[in-house]
Amino acid sequence: MNYEEAVAYIEETPKFTTKNKLEHTKECLRRLGNPQEKFRVIHVAGTNGKGSTCAFLTSILREAGYSCGLFTSPHLVEINERFQINEVNIDNAAFLSAFLKVKKLSDELVEEGSYHPTYFEMLFLMGMIIFAEAGVDYVTLETGLGGKLDATTAVEHPIACVIASISFDHMQYLGDTIEKIAVEKAGIIVPGVPVIYDGNDERAARVIRAKARELGSPAYEVKRENTEILQITQRGIDFSLKNEYYGNTIFKIPFVARYQVMNGALALTAMEVLKEEVSASLETIRRGMENTRWQGRMETVLPGVIVDGAHNEDGIAKFVETAAHFQEEHPLTLLFSAVDDKDYPDMIHTICEQIHFRNVVVTQVGGYRMVPAKTLADIFRKEGYEDVQAFEEVPAAFEKTLELRGKDGLAFCVGSLYLVGEIKSNIRKRN
């Protein structure tokens, strides 16, 4: 079996399996030799921001001289993105080697009349093998959908748990209230292990605090009021964290979205909590923050062109906050797409209610989940934009967006990680 066949097999996996119990994942790890015990893990959950928080943590650890693995989802262009070692995607050979080990185990389980690992479980098991064989010191581990029953929670001895912003998403799986969703996310908390969490929503914070008390886990709350934004430019944000440990240190992050300050503050607080575990000077931490790279979240992909995978209520609200800052200085062009399991009419209404665009372009993404470009265009017209450019293909829509942006404007490409992935793939082909 070659790399392409391995990827195809994984992509087919959801068609012949259902989610398994956490004990099944733990049993798989045991049969693979418990690779997750060969490195130290920082476990990160949340609705929005968990990937960015992982990226900040990884960059700091790398700057401090540690070898670091990063496990995240989803991928934007290629599946290898889910596994990074020292901030570089693994190569096809490492992917295939890990896959074959997990495939062998899967075949054995099926022959025993047991279960087949799910799509995400296969990737998680592969990640643990990849990082163990690479001999990394740390792994920043992003949960998949929830927390309590997520495959990543099979890692029983993390050194810290971090919970980023919690909001409404995947409600059919996680619950229809913030409190219910927070219960799922708080499922990553481990007895006695410190938890660092976003405390801006009191409903979620109350659940996390209660779980931490129940398990005897030290809890460290981080809120917007603990940060001070000093400057926002097209190159990024300067901010400080109001606490004794960091004093008057000014941190620079290479992102334009205000919400990244909270994600950065969570990472900084985690480093403070782990100061006895992780040897990193203040200057090292500062450089790690400044050098962080993260795809698809308010990412500048070309001069004056920013992509953002915002695809739920909270993400769109934070996109609007960022775009509002820049519309005072630049005319804005919007490229928008969404998939049909998101509340795209409300997303469009929120955007149009608060931001004025010189131009609007729409396209369609997501395969069977696609919303036709014409449907999106009609909604924008109802919101007051008569001249909406609609394209069925992303490359054509992106070219038109670049043309309409002009020399003086900014272009935002928003609404789906599928859209971000296709744009980044298109740019890669152009180069």
Asked whether 355 and 336 are in contact (CB, 8 A), the reply is no
Q: What is the pLDDT of residues 238-292, one digit of tens each?
A: 999 999 999 989 999 988 888 899 999 999 999 999 999 999 999 999 999 999 9
Q: What is the pLDDT of residues 68-94, one digit of tens each?
A: 999 998 888 789 999 999 999 999 999
Q: Which pLDDT score is estimated for 57?
A: 98
In eight-state DSSP terms, residue 238 is E
Query: Total domain count for the chain?
Result: 2
Torsion of CA 126, 128, 132, 136, to 10 degrees: 120
- Evaluate if residue 176 carries a pLDDT over 70: no
Q: In the predicted model, what is the mean pLDDT of residues 203-214? A: 96
- Evaluate if residue 25 carries a pLDDT over 90: yes
Q: Which of residues 290, 312, 328 is at a domain's end?
A: 290
User: Are both 55 and 177 inside the same structural domain?
Assistant: yes
What is the pairing mode between strands 305-308 and 299-302? antiparallel
User: Are both 322 and 194 inside the same structural domain?
Assistant: no
User: Are both 65 and 94 inside the same structural domain?
Assistant: yes
User: Are both 142 and 225 inside the same structural domain?
Assistant: yes
Q: Which of residues 260, 290, 320 is at a domain's end?
A: 290
Q: Which pLDDT score is estimated for 168?
A: 63
Q: What is the 3-state secondary structure (H, E, C) of 40-63?
A: EEEEEECCECHHHHHHHHHHHHHH
- pLDDT tier at 172, thresholds 50, 70, 90: very low
Amino acid at 138: Y
Q: Residue 357 sits in a domain of what CATH number?
A: 3.90.190.20
User: Are both 254 and 349 inside the same structural domain?
Assistant: no
Q: How many CB atoms within 10 Å of residue 152?
A: 27
- pLDDT tier at 164, thresholds 50, 70, 90: very high
Q: Count of alpha carbons within 13 Å of 158, Cβ hemisphere only?
A: 28
What is the pairing mode between strands 236-241 and 251-253? antiparallel
Q: Which pLDDT score is estimated for 171?
A: 44
Q: CA 199 to CA 165: how far, in whole Å?
A: 8
SS3 (DSSP) at 224: helix
Nearest to 428 by CA among 301, 304, 291: 301
Burial class of 22 by CB neighbour count within 10 A (0 to 12, 13 to 18, 19+): middle
Q: Which of residues 234, 261, 290 is at a domain's end?
A: 290
- pLDDT tier at 16, thresholds 50, 70, 90: low
Length of the chain: 431
Asked whether 399 and 391 are in contact (CB, 8 A), the reply is no
User: Are both 348 and 284 inside the same structural domain?
Assistant: no
pLDDT cut 70: percent of the chain above it: 96
The CA distances from residue 100 to 2, 126, 241, in Å, are 10, 9, 46
Q: CA 194 to CA 177: how far, in whole Å?
A: 25
Q: In the predicted model, what is the mean pLDDT of residues 382-410? A: 93
Q: Return the CA Rg of the chain.
A: 21
Q: Which pLDDT score is estimated for 414?
A: 93
User: Are both 279 and 304 inside the same structural domain?
Assistant: no
Q: And the tokens for 427?
A: 């740019």
Q: Which pLDDT score is estimated for 392?
A: 95
User: Are both 105 and 180 inside the same structural domain?
Assistant: yes
For the full predicted model, state whether its pTM sits above 0.75. yes
- Evaluate if residue 431 carries a pLDDT over 90: no
User: Are both 277 and 319 inside the same structural domain?
Assistant: no
Q: Which pLDDT score is estimated for 71?
A: 97
Q: CA 106 to CA 272: how far, in whole Å?
A: 41
Q: And the tokens for 6?
A: 């391995």
Q: CA 99 to CA 105: how far, in whole Å?
A: 10
Asked whether 179 and 249 are in contact (CB, 8 A), the reply is no
DSSP string, 102-128: HHHHHHHHHHTT-----HHHHHHHHHH
Q: CA 417 to CA 296: how far, in whole Å?
A: 7
25 φ, ψ (degrees, to nearest 5): -65, -40
Q: Residue 272 sits in a domain of what CATH number?
A: 3.40.1190.10
Q: Which pLDDT score is estimated for 115?
A: 86
- pLDDT tier at 169, thresholds 50, 70, 90: low
Q: In the predicted model, what is the mean pLDDT of residues 91-117? A: 95
User: Taking all residues of the chain, what is their mean pLDDT, rounded to a whole number?
Assistant: 91
Q: Which pLDDT score is estimated for 17?
A: 60
Strand partners, 414: 308, 336
What is the pairing mode between strands 219-222 and 388-390? unpaired
Q: Which pLDDT score is estimated for 294?
A: 83
- Evaluate if residue 175 carries a pLDDT over 70: no
Which secondary-structure segment (H or E) carries 336?
A: strand 332-336
pLDDT cut 90: percent of the chain above it: 70
User: Are both 333 and 271 inside the same structural domain?
Assistant: no
Q: State how far Cα 114 lies from the chain centre.
A: 32
- Evaluate if residue 182 carries a pLDDT over 80: yes
Domain extent at residue 380: 299-430
Q: What is the pLDDT of residues 303-347, one digit of tens each?
A: 889 998 876 777 788 888 888 888 888 899 999 999 888 889 999
User: Are both 107 and 44 inside the same structural domain?
Assistant: yes
User: Are both 260 and 307 inside the same structural domain?
Assistant: no
